[in-house]
Structure 1
Amino acid sequence: MDDRSRVTLSIAIVLAGVLLAVAAASLVSEAETDQASGTVIDYGDRDTLWTDADLSGYGTALDLLEYACEFNGLSVTFDDDGAITEIGGVANTDTAEWGLWVVYPGSIEWVHLDAPYDYDPEEFTITSWSYVAEGEEPTVAVDYSGNPIYGYQQKFRVVSLSPSITEILASVKAENVVVGVDSYSNYPQSIADAAASGDIAVVGSYTSPSFELITGTNPDVVFADSSQRSHTNMVSQLRSASVDSVLLYPGEDLESIMDNIFIVGTVINYGMAAEEVIDDTYEVIDLLADKVFTPEAGGTVDLMISLDPDISPWVSGSDTYMSSISSLFNSNNVFSEWGGWVHLTSDRIPYANPEKIIIITTEYSATQEEYDYLYENLPAQWKDTDAWRNGEVYVICESAADLVQRFGPRTAQVAELTAMILHPDAFDTEVPKIIGDDYEDYLEFSTYMSYD
């Protein structure tokens, strides 16, 4: 991919955040929502058990649960009020208990329903008997359009419409079922090579997928990214043509990214591999947090994240991938009062006065010469910050720029680089001020999570 294409993709990601709020309002339509033919038993931490069932054969949600327990050889007990106290040997405790949770047609939100459980299961998109702690919700069970993620047959022909989704498929060891990708899917290299040779079809760009090219692959399922309006529209079009399509969640935080990996694994029946990716990610995040939240690592760092070194740059507010990841490691986004990616006027930068600045760009190469040129030629407003005065301006470029803009299975690597930039005293290895294709050389905990 040339630099101009990379810059176009970066801008597309920015604009996606601006448009997302508009698109989200029209994503879920009760008339278009499918109904799950079965029910979920959810033990928590994405440990779920799906049971297929014809809902018309069960008068109440309780009847459906009793069938699921009998089918799977599970016990179920109730208290005197008819509330569940135990399923499959897992009993209520002071911190968590069983309950009936549902998603209504036209929604993606969980709703808790009290006993007695005499509700008609056909009233809901999906029912889940979930073991959850107070203030928490069950494992995700519908995609971003409100369609259930359970009950699919085995998928052998899969199309991805975004680089992040392509990486998720590779991470769960499903490369062999990928028959189509977007033109920006350049990782892992095996996928890029297959697309270049024609073994995998290119079905359009990330921002402009092609209905004809997608359907030309005869897909079993198509995965789309809800942060792109064109993907939302494509999902509706594909479903109208009876093509199974799944709309993943915006990857704005760690939980939604892990949900997306879980959804992909569940839909294509690669759930165990997805669980391994999720568990490994949390393990690395926990290791990094243990190192960062120590007296030796220092205090909270005021951070600015920018997509370019311009006088009026696009910077990260709250509710972005990089802002969410950096917040895990004792940092304060100095522009968090805004949501998404924000086009700043230059006077805001010295006023915010970040201690550290991360610039994500594809217009520079990872050499000291190019870094020195960028650093010395930053606008005057950038130079009027503690970050510039103290030499705490970091540049992420080349393939590392792709890495930090893709909310997928390499999140642990993004997290490690970010933590090392924010708190270098907590780590044995020091990252340079400009990081490019050699980013893996600086990783210690997440090296094995490249999925290439």
Structure 2
Amino acid sequence: MDDLSIMMKPQTVLIGVILLILGLIAGYFIAITTVKPEVIVTGQPVVVFDMLGRQITFKEAPQRIVSLGPAITETLFALGLGEKVVGVDEYSNYPPELLEMKEKGDVLIVGGYWTPDPEKILACEPDLVIAEIKAHAKIREKLEELGLRVVFIKGGGASNVEEIYEDIGLISRIFALENKARSLIDDIKSKIQEKTSLLAERNASRVRVFALLSPPAWGLWTAGGDTYINDLIELSGGENIMSRYSGYGQASYEEVIEKDPEVIILTIMGEPEEARKIIHEIINSPLNATTAVKNMRIYVLIGEADDIFCRPGPRVTKAIEILSKIIHPEIFGAIQRPDVISAIEISG
């Protein structure tokens, strides 16, 4: 390291000896603090601060992990920690090897995303539980009463892509996998940059987008400007028509019509037939006054596409790939996925 290099002319033998000794001592401490991040030095505890600001010390890397959210689970596997996962929430379904682990009984289901069961978590005998601030802070005390070590991250509650990077970094530090995390983050940034650079190169105009998070019959639930979905829309060359609002909430038909979206994107946990029914519902609703409906630019994300879109995690680049094709097909090509149902498809 340049800032620690000793480049001095010795004035006396005594000073030279002293400097040599100091150099050896410094070299010793540098050696034990600049080991490869993937290696945990014996006797050197790892200290992290989770997203609740709590200081947590690990004397050794955890070997049995319970994940309480799909975004957490996907991050663990992306960092190469899948073999340490022993419990997950019922919605964790990616990557494919996780499904195999669940079928074999190597990974247990510990409850719903919003309703994890502390006793089932305890039965997994984990030495680390990774939870989300927004979804699981309410059960923190119960988990700690059971003697469970819990680290909170943003996970599914992340507000933007940067917070995905923070989650990846936090988990990696626990396991001394900083190099792996850096490589993963760099890969995500590079792929996002490819999309945004092409949009800039083509001087693409922002397309007005309305994101619906449930069937219209449930109300026009949508995402505001400080949300992960808003970040996805903007990175994909769109403009969230509800960006002036904060968080998630209901919009009125009057305001949506006034904002006149050019594209409507809806995400549901359903089958293709249900998606088609919802498209017909939108076409026959007051939203038929919008440019999006007039041009049949309505898209319903189901199955894997729905998961990718709604989970702030390592698959964020796939979410942007899907959205960029929906929003700017003239640049990225038309979206062609069986889990993305379009109004044009069913009208043709």
TM-score, normalization by structure 2: 0.79
**SS where residue 50 of structure 2 aligns?**
coil
Which position in structure 2 is the counterpart of 1:381? 286
Aligned residue in 1 for 2:55: 148
Distance in structure 2 (CA, Å) of the matches to 1:335 and 1:262: 31
Larger Rg: 2
Q: Distance in 1 between matches of 2:30 and 2:142?
A: 37
Q: Which one of the candidate residues 138, 147, 151 is aligned to 1:233?
A: 138
Q: How far apart are 1:160 and its partner, in Å? A: 0.3
Residue 145 of structure 1 deviates from its aligned partner by 1.2
Cα drift, residue 68 of structure 1 = 9.1
Letter in 1 for 2:143: L
Cα contact 1:168–1:409 (8 A) shared by 2:
yes
Distance 2:232 2:27 in 1: 39
Pick the aligned partner of 2:322 from 408, 417, 427.
417
* SS of match in other structure, 2:242: coil
Q: Identify, as 1 or 2, the structure richer in helix.
A: 2
Q: CA deviation at 1:319?
A: 2.0
Which of residues 65, 81, 86 in structure 2 aligns to 1:174? Answer: 81
Distance 1:403 1:371 in 2: 17
Show the counterpart of 1:308.
Answer: 214
- 1:61-95: CA deviation from partner (whole Å, max 9, x where unpaired): xxxxxx99972259xxxxxxxxxxxxxxxxxxxxx
- 2-side partners of 1:372 and 1:177: how far apart? 40
Residue type matched to 1:72 in 2?
A: I
1:244 — aligned with what? 149
Write out per-residue CA displacement over residues 332-378 of structure 1, whole angstroms, 9 at most, x where no aligned residue. 2111121121122322221221111111112341x7xx766543331
Aligned to 2:17: none
* 2:102 aligned partner, one-letter code: A
Distance in 1, Cα, partners of 2:233 & 2:30: 42
Distance in 1 (CA, whole Å) between partners of 2:51 and 2:26 is 26
Q: Which runs of 5+ in 1 are unaligned?
A: 1-66, 75-125, 127-140, 439-452
What 5-or-longer segments of structure 2 have no aligned partner? Answer: 1-24, 33-46, 342-348
Structure 1 residue identity aligned to 2:339: G
Number of matched pairs: 301
Conserved in 2, the CA contact under 8 Å of 1:317 and 1:335? yes
CA spacing shift, 1:425–1:314, aligned 2, 3 Å:
same
| Match among 334, 340, 347 for residue 430 of structure 1 | 334
Q: 1:301: how far off?
A: 1.2
2:115 to 202, 208, 227: 208
TM-fit CA distance, 1:266: 1.3
SS of aligned partner of 1:298: coil
Q: 2:298 corresponds to which residue? A: 393
TM-score (norm 1): 0.61
**Aligned pair in 2 of structure 1 residues 201, 309: CA closer, same or farther (>3 Å)?**
closer
Tell me which residue corresponds to 2:72: 165
Rounded to whole Å, the distance in 1 between the matches of 2:168 and 2:105 is: 26
Task: Indicate conservation of the 8 Å contact 2:66/2:121, yes or no.
Answer: yes
Offset, 1:282:
0.4
Query: C-alpha displacement at 1:243, in angstroms?
Result: 2.4
Matches of 1:330 and 1:152, distance apart in 2: 45
- Alignment root-mean-square deviation, CA: 2.7
- 1:306 is matched by which residue type in structure 2? L
Partner of 1:72: 30
Alpha-carbon distance between aligned partners in 2 of 1:158 and 1:187, rounded to the nearest angstrom: 16
SS of structure 2 residue aligned to 1:243: coil
